[in-house]
Amino acid sequence: MGGIEFLKGHGTQNDFVLLPDPAGCLELTEARVAALCDRRRGLGADGVLRVVRAAALDEPSAGEWFMDYRNADGSIAEMCGNGVRVFARYLVEAGLATEGEFVVGTRAGDRPVVVHPDRSVTVEMGPATITGTSVTVVAGRPFSGVAVNVGNPHLVSLLDDDVADLDLRDQPDFDHDVFPNGVNLEFINCLGEGALRMRVHERGVGETRSCGTGTVAAVAAAFHLAGTDTGRSTVDIPGGRVEVTVSRGGASTLSGPAEIVARGELDEAWWAAAGS
């Protein structure tokens, strides 16, 4: 069978198509990404992770491998915490990296990772920076939020109402002057000390079962609202549970599972047609 190699994986049910492309030869157009991620005419995913050597893209990185991440609509994104975990697990299982600690390059900068013996992964997510406040509107209802940058933009709203009751089928409105390139929108409940529940509407994707950078933003925002800037919290998302730590100065880590579900080959005729 001839074709383009792919794998399917997920991190707390935030799912991805992985495309091994060490030399950076694949022409990964917006149309192809959107077709791959379509759950009827493609494989279905929240995004695409191209596995490419940093040198092939002339990307500055201390690591050999670069995560070229694309949203489901084909747009380029800076970072994805769940995606990095799946990417790192793939590198170890493919023999491209050794279990333990190594570096993955991303558009948000290098991300040190640790792949544990059980194949869960801890990612050093870099600083979670509070950048201000803004408002989002869901089904005509405004929610104030804390803006957080985790290498990509987030707006986190703390709710008294159960986040399970929100209707996130449509894109919530937000201030385009504050977020000219779009924003990931997190809605959280505090479950007690060191525990949050979250739902998320991701930029360029829609509601997803999980968002790694979003969980880090959620914890940073919750700590900020509580008058602190350090600590550890679990975050329950529809796809499972992760653990986030935020240290003084905003440095953060994200720990959680990473799963490889399937592998195969894309039909070359389908690939050619999807790029048009």
Residues 96 and 181 in one domain: no
Residues 174 and 227 in one domain: yes
In this predicted structure, what is the pLDDT of residue 2?
63
Residues 148 and 58 in one domain: no
Band of residue 251 on the pLDDT scale cut at 50, 70, 90: confident
Residues 68 and 40 in one domain: yes
CB 243 within 8 A of CB 255: yes
Residue 124 lies in a domain: no
Residues 100 and 145 in one domain: no
Q: Is the whole-model pTM more than 0.85?
A: yes
Torsion sign over Cα 248, 81, 189, 193: negative
Domains of the chain: total: 2
C-alpha distance from residue 267 to each of 36, 103, 140, 151, 270 (Å)? 12, 32, 44, 35, 5
Return binding residues.
14, 71, 81-82, 152, 184, 202-203, 212-213
Residue 233 lies in a domain: yes
In this predicted structure, what is the pLDDT of residue 249?
75
Residues 170 and 238 in one domain: yes
Residues 242 and 208 in one domain: yes
Residues 137 and 238 in one domain: yes
Band of residue 185 on the pLDDT scale cut at 50, 70, 90: very high
Residues 166 and 198 in one domain: yes
**How far is residue 14 CA from its own chain's centroid?**
8
Give the chain's mean pLDDT.
95
Rounded mean pLDDT, 26-36: 96
Residues 149 and 234 in one domain: yes
Q: Domain residues for 245? A: 129-249
Residues 267 and 212 in one domain: no
Residues 166 and 92 in one domain: no
Rounded mean pLDDT, 12-28: 96
Return binding residues for substrate.
14, 71, 81-82, 152, 184, 202-203, 212-213
Alpha helix segments (H runs only) across the chain = 30-37, 54-57, 81-93, 212-225, 268-274
Residue 254 lies in a domain: no
pLDDT (tens digit per residue) in 81-127: 999 999 999 999 999 999 999 999 999 899 999 999 999 999 999 99
Q: Tell me which residues are annotated as active site.
A: 80, 211
Band of residue 217 on the pLDDT scale cut at 50, 70, 90: very high
Does the pLDDT value for residue 15 go beyond 60? yes
Alpha helix segments (H runs only) across 75-211 = 81-93
CATH number of the domain enclosing 82: 3.10.310.10
C-alpha distance from residue 42 to each of 37, 47, 186, 214 (Å)? 6, 12, 28, 26
Radius of gyration of the chain (CA): 18
